[in-house]
Structure 1
Amino acid sequence: MNPLLHLTDAQIGAWVASFMLPLFRVGSMLMAMPVFGTTMVPKRIRLYLALAITVVISPTLPPMPVVDALSLQGLLLAGEQIVIGSLLGFSLQMLFQAFLIAGQILAIQMGMGFASMNDPVNGVQTAVVGQFFTMLVTLLFLAMNGHLVVFEVLVESFTTLPVGGGLLVNQFWEVIMHMSWVLAAAVILVLPAITALLVVNVAFGVMTRAAPQLNIFSIGFPLTLVMGMLILWLSMADILNQYQPMATEALQWLRELARAR
């Protein structure tokens, strides 16, 4: 028998600890995070990407606990890595959901809530304006190398949140408490547009009060739609200044969640 092909239980356990456990955390984060975790990216591609990232970062990771691959401890450690990776990916989803909710709010206010299309990211029907905001934030996120920052935090998380260190209740609580930030950020994002459309609706109300014979429904809807499109076009000039602080806060919160530097 060739001794090179003889593997002991200790060798298999060391291999599982040094490669498979990081793979679970990397793979679960790629499945949960935006851009890479969407339905537009096939699951096989995400698996290949997780394997490639794990192969690259494995030599730089701290020592992993040696466990039996089929033992209860090994299954618990694998579940721990899946939960940590999913939390990190889900926390990043909040940035994208803030823009999606902002687009939904703006679409309803300007009368385009009925104009919906299939969202390939979430796999549901969303308003066209919300889909536009989603594509915009995706391009900005990739153009500013936000995905590289996420991978950096992921690698540092193996030091700050070591394998076998246990899951902290504070992490779950921080994710739940930070969900309110999504709605607040969405409202702040479209608050100028909502205010302008509110002024337009008040003007229509005054016109209806002054001239009751005027059919406000026949002219109010198209004018509101046109004014909404104009306001959306004007607000795009400042979208970068609105995106930068929101993305900075989201990435900083991701670092705090992973306790990275």
Structure 2
Amino acid sequence: MLELEALEVGHWVSRYLYPFARISGLLMVMPLIGTRMVPQRIRIFLAVTVTLVMTPLLPPMPKVDPISLASMLIIMQQLLIGIAMGFVMELVTQIYVIAGQLIAMQTGLGIAVTVDPAQGASVVVISQWFLFLVSLVFLSLDGHLVMLEILADSFHTLPVGFDGLDAADFGMIVEWSGWMFAAAVVIALPALTALLIVNLAFGVMTRAAPQLNIFALGFPVTMIVGLFIMWLNIGEMAQGFHFYMDAMFEFLKKLTRG
């Protein structure tokens, strides 16, 4: 009787433990919540809350002794799935960080560096501004709610067990990261093209009037032109992030067999 009760308690614990591993892995890495600005206690509290709400709606969990090697393997597998999903979300936000760095290098604003409290590293001001922009757009479009919906569906399409992400899935994530760099270049392309034309104009001026001090004149002009181009494209950047966010959700569904 005691052994039977202990086994039932173990199964009850496993029912909440395995979803908690996947949910905590996602919240640990995903943008906004997974940053250093959110304390670890808050993240743990959110993971526990989401687990308690979501677990009754999930399919049955494998009946494995929670204190065993097999259970540890399942927990590591679920943690890896959550981290992979959060990492894909982080790649989308880094598109605009890279685009901001490309624009800053061409406009001469690369010297304007600030500390990113989310990552604990120094980044250019333009990249930080782009990151704030996409974070607000993500919240305004209820991206965090859609993410929780995809997470809940993943327990049905990719159920808890010994089978999880394979080598092909990680290959898809690597290809997605390559697409991130291409998207960053596309976002920064209008500003880069305009600044290239400005530099070509300064080159012609240098040949026509060598006595002009192009270095003193070129820096403020390129900076103003770069800021003006970013101001013109700010609406397109927000709409572009909406497109990238939809593509990210479709990729996550494909990754979780949805």
Normalised by the shorter chain, which TM-score bucket? over 0.9
CA contact (8 A) 2:62 2:161 kept: yes
In the alignment, which residue of structure 1 is the partner of 2:230? Answer: 232
Extract unaligned runs of 5+ from structure 2.
none
Aligned equivalents of 1:16, 1:218: Cα separation in 2 = 69
Cα offset, 1:16, TM superposition: 2.3
Would you say 1:127 and 2:121 are equivalent positions? no
In the alignment, which residue of structure 2 is the partner of 1:76? Answer: 73
The number of aligned residues is 257
In the alignment, which residue of structure 2 is the partner of 1:184? Answer: 182
In the alignment, which residue of structure 2 is the partner of 1:22? Answer: 19
Aligned equivalents of 2:143, 2:127: Cα separation in 1 = 21
Cα offset, 1:8, TM superposition: 2.9
In the alignment, which residue of structure 1 is the partner of 2:196? Answer: 198
Q: Counterpart of 1:215 in structure 2: which amino acid?
A: N
In the alignment, which residue of structure 2 is the partner of 1:210? Answer: 208
In the alignment, which residue of structure 1 is the partner of 2:9? Answer: 12
Which of 144, 159, 162 is matched with 2:159 structurally?
162
Which of 92, 95, 103 is matched with 1:95 structurally?
92
- With normalisation by structure 2, the TM-score equals 0.96
Would you say 1:111 and 2:134 are equivalent positions? no
Which of 43, 47, 59 is matched with 1:46 structurally?
43
CA contact (8 A) 2:74 2:162 kept: no
Secondary structure, aligned partner of 2:159? coil
- With normalisation by structure 1, the TM-score equals 0.95
Cα offset, 1:153, TM superposition: 0.6
Deviating above 2 A after TM superposition, structure 1's stretches of 4 or more consecutive aligned residues are 5-9, 237-241
More moved, 134-143 vs 233-242:
233-242
Aligned equivalents of 1:138, 1:259: Cα separation in 2 = 27
Secondary structure, aligned partner of 1:39? coil
CA contact (8 A) 2:27 2:43 kept: yes
Q: Counterpart of 1:85 in structure 2: which amino acid?
A: G
Aligned equivalents of 1:152, 1:210: Cα separation in 2 = 62
- Deviation digits for residues 22-59 of structure 1, max 9, x if unmatched? 00100010001111111111111010000000000110
CA contact (8 A) 1:31 1:37 kept: yes
CA contact (8 A) 1:9 1:68 kept: no
In the alignment, which residue of structure 2 is the partner of 1:257? Answer: 255
In the alignment, which residue of structure 2 is the partner of 1:248? Answer: 246
Would you say 1:145 and 2:134 are equivalent positions? no
Cα offset, 1:230, TM superposition: 1.2
- Deviation digits for residues 150-170 of structure 1, max 9, x if unmatched? 100100111111111412222
Cα offset, 1:7, TM superposition: 8.1
Aligned equivalents of 2:203, 2:15: Cα separation in 1 = 68
CA contact (8 A) 1:101 1:183 kept: yes
CA contact (8 A) 1:10 1:66 kept: no
In the alignment, which residue of structure 2 is the partner of 1:59? Answer: 56
Aligned equivalents of 1:100, 1:132: Cα separation in 2 = 9
Secondary structure, aligned partner of 2:109? coil
Aligned equivalents of 1:187, 1:108: Cα separation in 2 = 13
Cα offset, 1:180, TM superposition: 0.7
Secondary structure, aligned partner of 1:118? strand
Secondary structure, aligned partner of 1:125? strand
Aligned CA RMSD, in angstroms, stands at: 1.6
Aligned equivalents of 1:53, 1:237: Cα separation in 2 = 34
CA contact (8 A) 1:19 1:54 kept: yes
Q: Counterpart of 1:205 in structure 2: which amino acid?
A: G
